Structure 1
Amino acid sequence: MQSRDHHISHRYDQELEALRDDVLYMGSKVEEQIDNAVRALTEADEAIAEATIREDHAVNAMEVAADEKAVSLLARRTPAARDLRFVMTAIKTITDLERIGDEAEKIARMAQQLEGRQSLRRHQAISTMSEAVRNQTRQALDALAAMDADAALRIHQGDAKIDEMFEGIFRELLTYMMEDSRHISSTIDVLFVAKALERIGDHSKNITEYVIYMVHGKDVRHTDVNHLDLEDGEH
């Protein structure tokens, strides 16, 4: 009987680990999407843009497969406490990863459509913001892999910088359009790119919230994280 219970427990641990691997692999593919979308945009590379758009179908399929695996775990294993938090974290994370992929696809499509790519290539603010967003996404996924709540909190707090970058770009582009109405159409395209980057930042911030919830049992959504004490949470 003890051997059978041990076997069941081992199978359960394997299933949890397989779900974790699926989420992290999906995260790595989404990171590639962001990198390629930004490259397509800044280098005016039609082939990279097309490949990034095609890759979104694969990411969507990963979301469906991982979601089904998580739901199956909930139904068959009825996890509790930390295991339950992990499965819920996985379900929420794959949703945000899929949405990050959607935003990367939007950037790639914009790279195909955007006129005046030379001017965009010189738009240093977009390049700076894209680098910040890519770093934040990578760091959020690293915190998820390590289940590092302290790192997740630091990344969460740093998201305000990305919001500030977007606001700065918005003000700059608005001034540009007011000064010369001939550039309104192309400038709005650039603004759409900045908004897609800002949304990717929001989704990566969400992932850090799930990590904190997973480790400490604290829901920090709609919370002022600058005054958050993680030591009081559940372990």
Structure 2
Amino acid sequence: MTYCLALKLTEGLVCLSDTRTNAGVDNIAKYRKTFTWSVPGDRAIVMMTAGNLAVTQAVMSLLQENIDHPESGIETLFTAPSMFRVAEIVGDAMRVVQNRYGPGLSAMGESAVSSIILAGQRAGGKGRLFHVYSAGNFIEATEDTPYFQIGEHKYGKPILDRVITPETPLETGITAALLSMDSTLRSNLSVGMPLDLSVIKASEIGIVHERRIEENDANFLHLSDSWSAALRSAFADMTGIRV
């Protein structure tokens, strides 16, 4: 299982993913689910993946292969003129991989279902956020729904619904994303550390934060403990209210 979330804010884009892909009593695997591409001042792209690991790895590899070994007539993440076109390129890559491996996986009773969150900004345009599905089709985040989640999303959704709007400051968005992840980590063992955080700042058209948050990260532990204390305090205040 996994949990990835991305916020589309006026000040920029916030992306956060865990790294756990398999969980059991004696079987835990960790893989990076966040992938980034950047040309400072021109474009910044972040993708996060969920679903069949072989499928999503193949999609990421195909996208990178087209960048490393470009062929005439084939657009890449670095040549696409807009983020909408980038989303189409990612969707095309998903269809290629699904057509190649999907039937075989289905024949063996395995699911090929996969999804990708795509966040990015191109020079001359605003930050955009897309959710690409297994069929290669996609939807875009709007002012009414300024965030996307994939994977184990239910535990981390309430805080996003209560806090996030397009006008939410970037730093507040980062905190909300981390608390959303913390709530999921607390409630589901199939989501696990370390975390990968990527932040695109609209005014810079670049990835201004890109770091891994390890299990013993002091700041994250302090944030988690403070959130738990705040919730306990708020709950104590509620006990005097009768409905």
TM-score, normalized by length of structure 1? Answer: 0.27
Structure 1 or 2, whichever has the larger Rg, is: 1
**Greater strand share, 1 or 2?**
2
- Name the structure, 1 or 2, with higher relative contact order (CA <8 Å, separation 6+): 2
TM-score, normalized by length of structure 2? Answer: 0.26
